[in-house]
């Protein structure tokens, strides 16, 4: 059986990739994908521990995370579409309206 630490390591790697994606990339879609990546790395941790402790809590939480992620994508994509309509771009650096 593959030890839990392996999964955790994979999860950390995935999460780091996600963080790097959010911080470095400018394309909004990619940003979303990076966020998804982070969420899924968290899912992986949940599932891994769930298997280790033989409890179902972690797996249930994964379902929650997945629905939240779906909802987030739905809202997020809608936002991106509207932004694209007004700006003709999905570059996040173009939408710096909050600049002080």
Partner 1 sequence: MFELVPFILLFPVLGLLTNLVFGRYLGERFVGIIASGAVAASFIVSVIQVFALVNNNFHVETVLVADWITIGKMYLPWQIRVDTLSVTMMVLVTGVGTLIHIYAVGYMHGDKRFARFFVYLNLFVVMMLVLVAADNYLMLFVGWEGVGICSYLLIGFWYDKGDDNLGNARAGRKAFVVNRIGDFGFLIAMFMIFGAVGSLQFDAVLYYFENHGMEVGQLATTITLLLLVGAAGKSAQIPLFVWLPDAMAGPTPVSALIHAATMVTAGIYMMVRSAPIYAIAPSSQMTVALLGAGTALMAGTIALAQWDIKRVLAYSTISQLGFMVAAVGLGAHVAAMFHLITHAFFKALLFLSAGSVIHGVEHGAHKSDDHCDPQDMRNMGGLKDKMKITFGVYVVGAIALAGIFPLSGFWSKDEILADAWHVGMVEGHWHGMTVYILLALAAVITAFYMTRQIILVFFGSSRSAAANHAAENPPTMTVPLIGLAILSIVGGGINLPWSHTLGSWLEHTHHFFHGIDFNLTVALTSTALAVASIFVGFIVYYRRPLESSTAPDPLMSVLGPSLKFFYNKWYIDELYGTTFVRLYEWKARFLAFKVDRDFWHDFVHNQIILKSFKNVSGTLSGPVDRLGINKFFDGLAYSVHNIAVKVLRPVQTGYVRNYALGVMLGVVMVLGIMLIR
Part of the chain binding partner 1 (CB under 8 A), chosen from 6-14, 15-23, 52-60, 70-78 = 15-23
Mapped onto helix, strand or coil, the DSSP state of residue 96 is coil
What separation, in Å, do the N-terminal and C-terminal C-alpha atoms of the chain show? 54
Residue 20 has φ and ψ, to the nearest 5°, of: -60, -45
User: Which residues, in sequence order, are CB contacts of 73 under 8 Å at separation 6+?
Assistant: 32, 36
* Least Cβ distance, residue 32 to partner 1 (angstroms): 11
Binds partner 1 by CB under 8 A, chosen from 8, 19, 30, 65? 19
99 interacts with partner 1 by CB under 8 A: yes
One character per residue 20-59, x = contact with partner 1 (rule: CB under 8 A): --xxx-x----x----------------------------
């Amino acid at each position: 059986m593959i030890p839990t630490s392996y999964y955790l390591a994979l999860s950390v790697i995935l999460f780091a990739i996600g963080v790097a994606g959010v911080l470095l990339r400018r394309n909004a879609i990619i940003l979303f994908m990076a966020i998804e990546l982070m969420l899924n790395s968290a899912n992986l941790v949940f599932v891994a521990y769930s298997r280790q402790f033989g409890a179902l809590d972690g797996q249930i939480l994964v379902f929650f995370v997945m629905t939240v992620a779906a909802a987030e994508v739905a809202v997020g994509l809608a936002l991106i579409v509207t932004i694209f309509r007004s700006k003709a771009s999905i570059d996040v650096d173009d939408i710096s309206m909050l600049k002080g």
